[in-house]
Structure 1
């Protein structure tokens, strides 16, 4: 079986979850702060990214971080281009039976019609060709819904699918991520409109084209079952969206067929000054909790 086919089978059928190690420029200082590194502790973008890469390498090389419970990892572009023990990151991950993805969006536009669309992604085709050449299996791109505005929700879903079709043409599997803000008072109504908008776009896809979805854990358990079972959906991931690990895992476990794709909830208790044993214990505990929640 060829590598790509093995990776498809792993993502579509494997037991486990997706780890998101894709904090980009805007969110990196906050991620480092959570890890215990203050902004005054470093100077310049280069040092900031080096510290972030060192944290990610520490996570990826930990014995607990293995293909036994982790199906895939979403990478920031600089991480994709980096190395672990002199091995390119995507190759290192696949050696551990972990499928590499790449975050490709370039941030969000200003809010309009209750949503933040993705900014234009420059040189998209070139970036996709490069990612494919480096062993990347798929991509991820995020946009956010804040309010109950049907026109905005339809627009955000259309944008996700339009870019997703380009990604499919380059032989990569897209993760579409129209996040619903967990703070919205209209979250339940938004999710209903979002589900219908996604179904409308899915039904336009050829039967042989499959995508991945990454969605905020819904207010109503099993609300996305129709998406999970759709012939054009390989799998549906859940984002933690700002929930702490316990709440994210507890609510995810109520949703059959959804598996986690957590970032903050996975890394929230890791600290730079922990010993190797402490770090590994904390990471292992988080991985176990997320894995168990993803088995339902």
Structure 2
């Protein structure tokens, strides 16, 4: 079922193939942290433009690594700046699909609003329509947008999920596949309770989705194993993916293995152990091992 004009081959890959999604979409405040993890400290750039150039070099190194292919990776989520740049003479999204057979996604949210009712909804996105048009023109398959749940507050969680699905409707109307990401903070004091409220709210919104439309869900690894099994088999959910959320790669993989049918969409856990100072051979060995461990944990 493909009522919104998605690339059929990419849709089939996302729905059926084994593998996981690489989240390469650090932006704004998280960029210096991602660079520091990679061994490039904050004094290494003197402008935002220089910082973004360093980030693109890091992402290019990951994407062009021999291990980074569509055999184990289904998709990759890009930041807007990465979408606008090129890799080896091709637009990043085209390189991902044409060379690597990896489905390109774009992070579209503009960050989080201040906390209210125990959650942070997304900031307003006045430029979303134009961004979605550009993404479609650049052969992007889908989008990702993140909210954050910090407390088991029913009012707040309802607000997060309503906003996520409202924006998802706009994304579907633009002919793109939305990844809905209402993250539950792993330090939430009643994490299990928050997940119960979240699950109920999402099920309610899925019922309201028009026939034939689907979304993807990106969720924090839950306290109860297989807690999101209803979503894995839901006819309106293309795929359920998990964020690493601050867990180490080992812990994230352990939790992921216990959630059957859920695949990874890791960011920090994927890049763990990579360094600008490594030789290409060392770098490729580390990312290859990382990809293999996450692939294996996703394949349960």
Q: TM-score range by the shorter chain?
A: over 0.9
Cα distance between partner residues in 2 of 1:150 and 1:227: 20
Cα distance between partner residues in 2 of 1:112 and 1:273: 42
Unmatched 5+ residue regions in structure 1? none
Aligned with 1:85 (options 73, 85, 88): 88
2:10 is aligned to: 7
1:172 is aligned to: 176
1:253 is aligned to: 257
2:143 is aligned to: 139
Matched, 1:43 2:16: no
RMSD: 1.1
Within-5 A mapping of 1:210-221: 210-221=214-225
**How much does 1:252 deviate?**
0.2
Aligned with 1:231 (options 216, 230, 235): 235
- Secondary structure, aligned partner of 1:57: helix
Cα distance between partner residues in 2 of 1:205 and 1:69: 31
Q: State the 4+ residue runs in structure 1 displaced beyond 6 angstroms.
A: none
TM-score by length of 1: 0.99
Once the two structures are superposed, residues 202-233 of structure 1 have per-residue CA deviations (whole angstroms, 9 ceiling, x without a partner) of 00112200000000000000000111111110
Once the two structures are superposed, residues 117-169 of structure 1 have per-residue CA deviations (whole angstroms, 9 ceiling, x without a partner) of 00011221111011000000000000000001100000100000000000000
Once the two structures are superposed, residues 58-86 of structure 1 have per-residue CA deviations (whole angstroms, 9 ceiling, x without a partner) of 00000000011000000000000110011
Aligned with 1:268 (options 265, 272, 277): 272
1:70 is aligned to: 73
TM-score by length of 2: 0.97
Matched, 1:199 2:218: no
Cα distance between partner residues in 2 of 1:74 and 1:80: 10
Q: Is the 8 A contact 2:274 2:286 kept in 1?
A: yes
Cα distance between partner residues in 2 of 1:37 and 1:49: 12
Once the two structures are superposed, residues 235-277 of structure 1 have per-residue CA deviations (whole angstroms, 9 ceiling, x without a partner) of 0000000001000001100000100000000001100000011
